[in-house]
Each structure stands twice: as C-alpha cells, then as structure tokens.
Amino acid sequence: MKTIARFSPALLFLTIIYMSCTEAPSKKTDLTKAVTKQDFGQADGKPVYLYTLVNKKGDQVKISTYGAVVTAWISADKTGAKNNVVLGFDSLAGYLAKPPYFGAIVGRYGNRIANGKFKIGDSSYTLATNNGKNHLHGGLKGFDKQVWDATEVDSVPALTLNYISRDGEEGYPGNLKVTVVYTLSDDNELGIEYSAETDKPTVVNLTNHSYFNLTGDVKNNILQHTLRVDADAYTPVDSTLIPTGVLQPVKGTPFDFTIPTAIGARIAQVPGGYDHNFVLNNKDGSLKLVAELADSISGRKLEVYTTQPGLQFYTGNFLNGSIKTSDGKPINKNAALCLETQHFPDSPNQPAFPSTLLKPGEKYHSITKYKLSVQ
C-alpha cells in the first residue's frame, strides 16, 4: 500500500548526511524497563547493537541493528516453558556467515526479480543476480547485510530502525530512506511498520524474513504444524521460482490452505516444497488476519495480520544441516518456515500484479503483525 505525502529531495540529502554519523560504542545499558541495549560486535567498521524488547508478561523479542534482524522471540508454551520460536544466533558471527536471511528485513526488493532486470518508463535497470539468473532479496548486499541506525522508544517495548539506501545501490535508482518500527505488545503481538520515501522513481518491496518453528526446537520439523491462509489463489512459478503471471485458484490443489491443514499433508505433491506467493483476499489494503499457524506439541498459535496483498509461504526447502544453532543443533530441511508478507515476486515485470513503483512525493507504507498465543 502506498500513501501520498509531500517529500523534499533536499530534506532527504540532509537526512543522509545526518544518518551517516556513526553511533559510538557502548557497554550494556538499561534504557527503560521495556528496552535494553548491548554491544553485539562490529560490521563494516561500524558498531552493531542488540536490543531486547520485553513486555509485561516477560516475553522477549531481540533485534540486531545488523540487518534489522529479529534474532529471537522468546515466549511460553502450554506448559509455561519459554523458548525461542524463530531461527537466530546468540552472536553476530552467525549472521556475518550469511545464513539465508534469518529474521532479517529484506530489500530494497524482497523476493525475486526475473533476470535481475526491470524498466521504469524508458529507463532500464540491471541488478545483481544472486539467485541463479535472478535477483533475490535486494542482491549481494541487501538490507539484511547493512548496519541500521536505531532509536529506542521510551517506556514501551518498541524500536525504530533507519537506513538510507543510496542511489545505485545494488543497481536500484534513487536515494531511498527506509524506516522500520518494531513493537511488542503485552498481548504478544510483534508489530512491524514499514515506511520509505525516494527522490527518484524506484521499486520497493519490504518484508521480514523470520523463520518460525512454534515447538521452539529445530529437532522437530514444521510438517505437523497446521496452516490456514486466507487466499483463494496463488502465483504459480517456473523452474527458477519466477511467477508465470497467472493467478491460479487454490481449490483442488496442494495450495489450498483455506481451512487449517497440516503442512506435510500434501508437500510431496509440490516439487521442491512450498516456496510460493499466495494472493491474499484483503483487496482493500486494510490490516486483516490473513494466516494462522498452529502447533500441537507446544500449544502455540501464530496469527498473521497485514496490509499487504501477498504472503510468501516457504518451508525451509534449502536448509540442509550445514548451518547450526548457537547450541550446535543442525538446521535441517523443513526445520522452520517463513510467512513473508509482501507484494508479489517479479512485480516490476508483471503489469497485471499490484504495482511496487514508488515515486518522489509518495510514501511507501505497510503494517504487519505477528501474534503469538497458547491454545
């Protein structure tokens, strides 16, 4: 969803100069009862910090300024035991080893762009091709590998992260100012609000790439999780996972999750596993419940709300055990899943898809909320 707002390129230039100043390193400090901050290492010669948001129930969400990554979401299961329901690492080293986008904000364009090429008007742009012949999640050094600037919000568990993507970065046009606000409510709702402004026409598709395993243990795969998605259609893909342009009804296919269904029930009918965009039924762009994930082992339930038109459902098909958790457990295929709220893949090359074009004077804005509860 895009809303129009006045925007000054001159203001953006001044913002770039201001944001280029690096925050000085600090020791672990308590900012408020709701937010704590600690050193998390260095990347690109810049200090990296880890913030912990804590709600009144004592549940925690940890966020790194490297990649704006959600490193942990610690919450109780049906027995009261607390553990982490997302894939992540205890140290920055795990992220510098470039895992597949664990918990990161991906951009400037989340998902794939065919052949790393697109046009805006008469201008053609060539991006890095980092997924076979295609461009994926912003390229070789997308938003997931950048150090963001952070500002804590006093007295509430919230964190604002800012990043300036320079004109030409990874081949994209325009200086893009991006803001992401994470908020943890006392009802265990993790809100993610995205905003962006540009000084040249460009394409934008921002999402969070958290991998969920509601059992809290990667020894348990996610095939027994049940999923419901409020989508009557999905976008079929070619062999390189680029949409064909068709909106295919889910009825009668392995992609029909209109009623809660075990993820493993029909995954064998999907070559390679699920890695597909679902066309959500929230046509008006309002914030709506679009998906529900449940696990009987832990009793946990995850609800997904978004203003976005699409949801990429990915079942960790490329995880192969080569990456291990901080306590040494191998992360195998289907150890976790992603529910990425987004615009459709390859939208810049698909005129029939909702547009991801952002122009000067417009504001990109979207909201997604993930809510955890115990059944």
* Active-site annotation, residues: 209, 340
**Residue 10: partners with Cβ closer than 8 Å, 6 or more residues away:** none
Of 206, 69, 62, 264, residue with least CA distance to 147 = 69
Distances (CA, A) of 116 to 18, 124, 174: 32, 11, 17
Cβ contacts of residue 8 below 8 Å, gap of 6+? none
Report whether 107 contacts 143 (CB < 8 A): yes
176: left (phi over 0), alpha (psi -120 to 50) or beta: beta
Match 């390129």 to its residue by tokens: 9
**16: enclosing H helix or E strand:** helix 9-19
Q: Are 192 and 368 in contact (CB under 8 A)?
A: yes
Radius of gyration of the chain (CA): 20
Locate 178 and state its tokens: 């991006």
How many C-beta atoms lie closer than 10 Å to residue 237's C-beta? Answer: 18
Taking phi over 0 as left and psi of -120 to 50 as alpha, with beta for the rest, 195 belongs to: beta
Alpha carbon 229 to its chain's center: 17
Token pair recorded at residue 244 = 């064909």
Long-range CB contacts (< 8 A, 24+ apart) of 71-74? Answer: 71/103, 73/190, 73/210, 73/372
